[in-house]
Amino acid sequence: MKWCLAALTCTLLAVAGCQEIDTPSQQESAPSSSPSPKKGPPSRKSAAQTERLVLDWVDLLDSPDPQVQGLAALSLLRCGHPKAKAALEEALKADAPARRQAAVIKAYGFDRNESALNAMEAALANKNAPVAAAASWALAHIGTPRAVQALCGFLSRNSNPERARIAAATALGQTHSKHAVEPLIACLNAKSPKLRKAALHSLVDITQNPSVGADPKAWQDWWKENRVRSREEWLEHGIRSRDQAVSSLRKEAREVRARLAEQTIKALDGRPDKKDPKPLIEALKNPSAKVRLYAVAELVKLDVPARVPALVGALSDPEAEIRRTAAAALGDIGDKKAGNPLIKALRDRSETVRAAAASSLGRLGCKEGVKPLIATLNDSNIEVASAAASALGEIGDKSAVKPLMGVLAGGKNRTKVREAAAGSLGKLGDPLAVKALVPVLRDKDERARWFAAIALGQLKAEAAIAPLSNVLSQDSSANVRLSAATSLGMIGSRKAEPPLAGALSDKDPKVAAQAAEALLAVAGEDFDALLKVGRLFYDRKDDNRAAKAFGKLVAKYGADSARKKQVEIVRRMLVASLGRLRQWNTARQHYAALCQQNPKDAALLKEYVTCLINDGDFASAIRESAAGAKVDPEHAGEWWARIAELIETHGKQIGQAGLDKLIAELEAAGPALGGEQTKARILKFRTPPPPAPPPKTETKEEKKK
């Protein structure tokens, strides 16, 4: 009965003039890589007849025979009739009958039709095992990057059903995709033995390398070594052949080549004259890419003229990585002779080589490379184009300004290139670029705004103060506001003070901090500006920056007799800030200067003594307290009481020798030591004099005499 139905289906297809479909037996024997059948001539039947055929195929989707179901689904998929499309969409819904859904999914897979990838990806997690298995098989059969990605993503999610993950792992082996290797290796650590087995089987299918075994660590090591290689290289490395002798010979040949490469590298590494470039230059002709790469890396280390021509020759190496390494090395060496070969390398087939060549031309400052680099701004690869934009800024030729402005204005989808262009415009220092950079401050892309703001600061354009001020107060991005504050500081105009002062209250502490630093930069060394900024920080209890501003003022104007009184006021605020910061060692220097300037200011002297105590210099605190007793005789008793207290509390830190010296100084200055009470307290810490020797007793002989 099922063969009758299958024959009937084929007949209907032929009558309808749709695509020809092989019989079930032919489908099974057909290779998976065979292309889909081409469409035949359009049907001559009436619309009603065609519609009837479509309805018949829809009915056959519920056939008990899977082969008939598959033929019906494939017929609907290929005929293109609207009702056929609707029936297929209905069958792909999650609540559709499982057998019908599985048949339709397989039809899409057999036809390598990507139009239902979303439905197939969703079906991977279907509770019905045949549906999930059909989805895995179909995605693998389609085999496109997106289909493989869907399987990898499903496999990597541990929360998915085990049986479905096993099906996905098995299907990935059929894709032969390199992208499936990493998620399959991860599954070797799974708890499920069946999942581990399926993952291992697929890894072997993809890599054709059963020798690694089932150890996840071994596979991870293998992947680290081979991920940069193509699958064809894997297949060459791990090919399995019925002819064991050929396989063995190939393996041996590979091992011999590897050993020769290692031995060559070892010999080169142990060469007697490490400064002789000839062995390395000869090694650039070695058939092993590993040896050639080693030679390039070693040539860079030699400071000899012959290395530049050798590295230029390496720009023609068949291996892209060697060409890239040579291009980068020529930029690091800095020999102008490499300019023209690097310009030629801008047309290399590898984007990594082109990018390295562009960057090296920038480091060389190669003027001849300006025009080729301008042309490279249109390279289809973003990394290459952005490298060219950055290089133009490093070269510093202003003929690149207008092309870079063009990049900035266009290429909305090439953000990285625009960022590099903005950075280079800042380096080139042409005021013309301001007109192009200011509009970018309103760009939707945050990074573009950030780079534009920094570039305007590099240009030191006063015309940019107003737009940068707007950015500082209004931009939604803290990073962009931060760059605006930085740039206003770089411009260095006093006009930026009001917006920077306002930004001290920014909700982001980093922006507020940068605004404060910018205010200091704007103030420069101008007395009035520094005093204004310092007072602003002082009033906001920002003692670090207040001390910084006041310190600059004192250092610059401390010896200016015309500003003596102003400097004294500044110094008093400075010691107050330093005290709150507990920077006593710095504060004591300024207290000493203030006390010298105001020798009769007892209150100031008390602050100085407190500073010395906090700084741990108790001896100096005692000496200054003794001076205070003379300056402030009305409160001399308090000063001497403090001296006694300091000796009692910190005598051990001062040491006995130091105490003896101090007490001697105090007695010389005022023998009374503040009165009997304080004198007794102080003198008890002095080293007592040695006791008198006992009287000599006479011997019997002495008595007789």
Q: What DSSP line would sit under 586-650, residue for residue?
A: HHHHHHHHHHHHSTT-HHHHHHHHHHHHHTT-HHHHHHHHHHHHHH-GGGHHHHHHHHHHHHHHH
Closest CA to 6 of 19, 22, 17: 22
How many whole angstroms separate alpha carbon 441 and alpha carbon 446?
9
78-131: per-residue pLDDT in tens?
A: 888 888 888 877 877 878 888 888 888 888 888 888 888 888 888 888 888 888
Structure tokens at 653: 């830190």
On whether the CB atoms of residues 548 and 556 are closer than 8 A, the answer is: no
Task: Examine the pLDDT at 244 and tell me if it is beyond 80.
Answer: no
Residue 273 φ/ψ region, left for φ over 0, alpha for ψ in the -120 to 50 degree band, beta for the rest: beta
Reported pTM: 0.49
How many whole angstroms separate alpha carbon 257 and alpha carbon 237?
12
Structure tokens at 648: 């009692």
Structure tokens at 621: 């605190």
Residue 479 is predicted with a pLDDT of 92
Closest CA to 311 of 353, 270, 272, 351: 353
- First-residue to last-residue Cα distance in the chain: 160
How many whole angstroms separate alpha carbon 684 and alpha carbon 679?
8
Buried b (16+ CB within 10 A) or exposed e, 178-194: bebbebbbbbbebeeee
Residue appearing with tokens 């293109």? 80
Residue appearing with tokens 């930069």? 521
Q: What are phi and psi for residue 694, nearest 5 degrees? A: -65, 155
573-604: per-residue pLDDT in tens?
A: 988 999 999 999 999 999 899 888 898 898 98
Amino acid of residue 389:
A
Q: What are phi and psi for residue 202, nearest 5 degrees? A: -70, -35
Residue % of the chain over a pLDDT of 90: 17
User: DSSP 3-state assignment of 310?
Assistant: helix
Q: How many CA atoms lie within 13 A of 562 on its CB side?
A: 2
Closest CA to 660 of 680, 683, 677: 683
Structure tokens at 182: 């990493």
Residue 105 is predicted with a pLDDT of 81
Burial of residue 369, with CB atoms counted within 10 A of its CB: 0-12 exposed, 13-18 middle, 19 or more buried: buried
64-73, 330-339, 474-483: range with lowest mean pLDDT: 64-73
Residue appearing with tokens 């609540």? 95
Task: Examine the pLDDT at 2 and tell me if it is beyond 60.
Answer: no
On whether the CB atoms of residues 57 and 46 are closer than 8 A, the answer is: no
116-130, 316-330, 390-404, 463-477: range with lowest mean pLDDT: 116-130
pLDDT band for position 415 (50/70/90)? confident
Structure tokens at 146: 């997106």
pLDDT band for position 334 (50/70/90)? confident
Structure tokens at 690: 């040695």
How many whole angstroms separate alpha carbon 100 and alpha carbon 63?
9
Task: Examine the pLDDT at 642 and tell me if it is beyond 60.
Answer: yes
Torsional sign, CA 418, 423, 428, 433: positive
Average pLDDT for 654-676: 86
pLDDT band for position 31 (50/70/90)? very low
Closest CA to 486 of 520, 463, 438: 520
On whether the CB atoms of residues 594 and 575 are closer than 8 A, the answer is: yes
Burial of residue 56, with CB atoms counted within 10 A of its CB: 0-12 exposed, 13-18 middle, 19 or more buried: middle
Residue appearing with tokens 């006041």? 550
Task: Examine the pLDDT at 455 and tell me if it is beyond 50.
Answer: yes
How many whole angstroms separate alpha carbon 370 and alpha carbon 352?
19
How many whole angstroms separate alpha carbon 286 and alpha carbon 307?
17
Residue 692 is predicted with a pLDDT of 65
Q: What Å distances lie between residue 638 and 156, 191, 337, 673, CA to CA?
A: 80, 81, 82, 12
Task: Examine the pLDDT at 702 and tell me if it is beyond 70.
Answer: no
Which positions ≥6 away from 55 have C-beta within 8 Å?
Answer: 83
Opening angle at CA 544, ends 541 and 548, nearest 5: 120
CB atoms within 10 A of CB 665: 13
